[in-house]
Chain A
């Protein structure tokens, strides 16, 4: 049915999943840092975080991917004096993570603001360290509040992985492109690729819903 290209599509899909997860990890870290900076008491840090998040949300993801791949290679080469390039996977995951993080910072920020101040004060009064207060009291609750927003962003991230095919990473889109060029059946292979993307987004949405149910176990339903 796929003229011997079926297994390549599956290998590509696996690469897409790995890329999405790597982008998610980078993005969650950047988003948390961005949210912490945006809520900081130090005004220049707040200003820098807000500017960064606004700018990164306005740039096309494709431009981010190209900057991270070609641009940083050029800058690194200029600094080190040798020919250095980021791998397509690292550049892609970072670029997608930056785009994810800029939106996620806003999700985390509003989630952090939702948590009553008294909880933090109570934890500190009980003698927990600031770090324990954050990791054991604040963060688990932030997670619950941020999950729906982050889930939507992950679906966007999953679709944006297709852009990394432009810099030559052999993920699903690139494999479909190769197969389409070889077999001269572009419509069939791009349709197959879109079917796999639909499947991936469907599975991701199911997983997110499952996680939402898990984290909301103890919560009372609203009316």
Chain B
């Protein structure tokens, strides 16, 4: 356990240190490029670029981790939701209903500020608990938890829709082949459902990127937090908000482009069939 966590920490430090050094280098380069007497807002942009770029890094970090955790959770929740067993589908339904019906901001506050209300979590009498000291008192982990839980609810609903929409024949074929219930889901239903859900999931992903800005409300220096911190020093509201807007749009565009590529790769079988048909016509 210690080996694994040390290894993870090592990689985390390496990536974090590398990214930080990269940002510093880019920032230095920008400052030299613009020059100390450069025109505003460019010279201020250059001067504060390190902070802003580190903010972009944290925003991407939050998006990647919470989407991965959310995706894993969502499979379980979606399967529970389509179950016919009351003890499974009812909690899943309530979970999805609550997280989709309340603002993300409330969820973030409930976890970061709200959980402090419970003495047993903080361990005020027992002198602190591991969970509180390492996870729940950290705004980073609270943001990851809140975004993951929220993302899981939205993705579970998309996944449920995809599973329900699969042609009945495919499931029947899997049953006819004598596959076990687990194998049916693992080898047939879930892979197909992921492909069907992909376009809706990419829309959902954009919503996650946008709600990641809420991390700044619990003191995190993500892109939004860094922007607000810089504005507090420069008083250049519009310039830095617009810069943040452009950076958010770039993050969104890159993600949408990535999903397009993934969709293309996963529908290779459709494209492959087209040329074959054409050669068929020629030989005939």
A residues with a Cβ closer than 8 A to B are: 55, 57-63, 66-67, 70-71, 73-75, 159-163, 165-166, 173, 176-177, 180, 184-188, 190-191, 193-194, 197-198, 201-202
Contacts and interface: CB of A to CB of B under 8 A. Distances in A.
Contact of A187 (B118, B241, B248): B118
Contacts of A201: 101
B103 A173 contact: yes
A176 B117 CA distance: 15
B262 interface: no
Contact of A59 (B110, B212, B217, B245): B245
A62 B109 contact: no
Given A63-B244, A186-B110, 10 more contacts: A58-B249, A60-B224, A71-B241, A159-B104, A185-B117, A186-B116, A187-B113, A194-B103, A194-B107, A198-B102
Contact of B102 (A60, A73, A187, A194): A194
Interface residues of B, number: 39
Contacts of B214: 62, 163
Nearest to B113: A186
Contacts of A63: 213, 224, 241, 244-245, 248
A205 to B, nearest CB: 9
Interface in B1-47: none
B114 A191 contact: yes
12 contacts: A57-B206, A59-B245, A62-B216, A75-B238, A161-B103, A163-B103, A186-B113, A187-B116, A190-B113, A194-B107, A197-B103, A198-B102
B101 A190 contact: no
Given A197-B102, A198-B101, A201-B101, A60 B210 contact: yes
A180 B249 CA distance: 35
Contact of A180 (B102, B104, B113, B252): B113
A18 to B, nearest CB: 17
Contacts of B249: 55, 58-59
Contacts of A61: 210
B109 A186 contact: yes
A185 B119 CA distance: 12
A190 B237 CA distance: 30
A160 B242 CA distance: 21
Nearest to A55: B249
B184 interface: no
A190 B114 contact: yes
A63 B237 CA distance: 11
Contacts of B64: none
A186 B117 CA distance: 6
A166 B217 contact: yes
A62 B104 CA distance: 11
Interface in B79-116: 97-98, 101-107, 109-110, 113-116
B211 interface: yes
B253 A58 contact: yes
Given A159-B103, A173-B105, A198-B102, A184 B206 contact: no
A182 to B, nearest CB: 13
Contact of A191 (B103, B110, B224): B110
